[in-house]
Amino acid sequence: MITINENFLNLQNNYLFSTIAKKVDDFKLKNPEKKIIKLGIGDVTRPIAPVVLEAMHKAIDEQGNLETFRGYGPEQGYEFLREKIAEFDYARRGVKISPDEIFVSDGAKCDCGNIGDILGTDNVVAITDPVYPVYLDTNVMSGRSGNYNNKTGKYEKIIYIPVTAENNFIPEFPKEIPDMIYLCFPNNPTGTTLSKEELKKWVDYARKNKILILFDSAYEIFISEENVPHTIYEIDGAKEVAIEFRSFSKTAGFTGLRCAYTVIPKELKVYTKQGKEVNLISLWDRRQGTKFNGVSYPVQRGAEAIYSEEGQKQIKENILYYMNNAKIIKEGLQEAGYTVYGGKNAPYIWLKIPSGLTSWEFFDKLLNEVNVVGTPGVGFGPSGEGYFRLTAFGTKENTIEAIERIKNMK
């Protein structure tokens, strides 16, 4: 008799954004005349840069020609792209990452989920709280979570590390030492960052305790302030303990095109239960070679194109556009008396809900009264209760209007 992976039965509700989509759809059905402004899901809206379009058109023409046609590419990604990444995203910042430590993929979400394939299911997982739901849900699926406790809103085996206004959004070491921890900076959902000094504390802690750091750096391009690390490998010793996930989704608007990459340094050691050292990179290489078949060739050519001088100029125009929206949201809400975080090095604004409302109640209030969609903080974890996320990915016009509406909300 065929049986299921019963860990799936431990998953709570539906995926956060599906729930929101359903609420919005229901509202639309009942109020077809209302103009809804969505500042909820973290999806980009600016068109793809011309250099990327040009590179993709060219690659597609190559696919139509017998002499230049390419079939299966390397599962790890083409050298032309891996070399550009190594040079531009790392060497330029004084960090030595070799192209064969870079694995191109179709999404950081996929990699963040699939990385669990190569890790033992007994590892104790720590997440910051609030957090991107994928880290948690994929660990529930693979059996690392234990049971869900309805009272606490937490899984029994997961270590939740609160990041709230109280600790200035800086995660503190938990009482129990975890085996693996997800860190995302610039942070989704709070929009906050860690300084090099703060991140170094975590790297040192991981080295001391043989912990794997899963560092999600999908929002690196939004960093505008000094002393914020652009890659965890700027920190001495990080190569021994950290994987880094990066993505073209936010960097270059690739959410619909699909391209990302994961870095696993050769120095990164993990262990058998008996304590024998294993290179994590060899496991991931085997996993990708067996369960993945590389990223679409024209998409990899498109990603390559952003590393030209003109490409950088073009993608940064979009980033500035979004960060201007972030400023509009941040300053507008502050004027309206709200306390807000983030928005300086990230496209997310994390808003403290002033009254006694829960974050889902605030979601409903915003949707029903001023037709603005955001994301309730508690959707990202129990410590997100009392907060609300707005994103800078809308159009400037909609962002201005949304903030005006919120300002005038009773």
Residues 45-104 close enough to bind its own copies by CB under 8 A: 45-48, 50, 53, 56-57, 60-61, 63-66, 69-73
Contacts (CB under 8 A) with its own copies, residues 309-368: none
In angstroms, rounded to a whole number, what is the distance separating the alpha carbons of residues 192 and 330? 13
Check residue 36 for interaction with its own copies (CB under 8 A): no
Neighbours of 354 (CB within 10 A): 12
Of positions 12, 31, 98, 121, contacts its own copies by CB under 8 A? 121
Of positions 99, 107, 265, 384, contacts its own copies by CB under 8 A? 107
- Least separation, in Å, of the C-beta of 405 and its own copies? 22
Contacts (CB under 8 A) with its own copies, residues 138-157: 138, 141-142
Q: How far is C-alpha 178 from the geometric centre of its chain's CA atoms?
A: 21
Read off the DSSP letter of residue 124: P
Check residue 296 for interaction with its own copies (CB under 8 A): yes
Contacts (CB under 8 A) with its own copies, residues 2-21: 2-6, 8-9, 11, 15, 18
Exposure string for 222-242, b = 16+ CB within 10 A, e = fewer: bbeeeebbbbbbbbeebbebb
Kindly give, in sequence order, each residue whose CB lies less than 8 Å from that of residue 163, ignoring residues fewer than 6 positions away. 128, 129, 130, 169, 170, 171, 187, 190, 192, 383
Check residue 137 for interaction with its own copies (CB under 8 A): yes
Residue placing its CB nearer to its own copies in the complex, 210 or 266: 210
Assigned token pair, 361: 């109640």
In angstroms, rounded to a whole number, what is the distance separating the alpha carbons of residues 318 and 324? 10
Number of residues that bind its own copies (CB under 8 A): 83
Residue placing its CB nearer to its own copies in the complex, 61 or 197: 61
Check residue 400 for interaction with its own copies (CB under 8 A): no
Burial class (CB within 10 angstroms; exposed 0-12, middle 13-18, buried 19+) of 175? exposed
Pick the stretch among 112-120, 182-190, 326-334, 373-381 that binds its own copies (CB under 8 A): 112-120
Contact 376, 362 (CB under 8 A): yes
Contacts (CB under 8 A) with its own copies, residues 157-196: 179-180
Residue placing its CB nearer to its own copies in the complex, 44 or 370: 44
In angstroms, rounded to a whole number, what is the distance separating the alpha carbons of residues 134 and 317? 29
Contact 11, 137 (CB under 8 A): yes
- Least separation, in Å, of the C-beta of 108 and its own copies? 9
Contacts (CB under 8 A) with its own copies, residues 199-228: 209-212
Check residue 394 for interaction with its own copies (CB under 8 A): no
Pick the stretch among 81-89, 107-115, 145-153, 338-346 that binds its own copies (CB under 8 A): 107-115
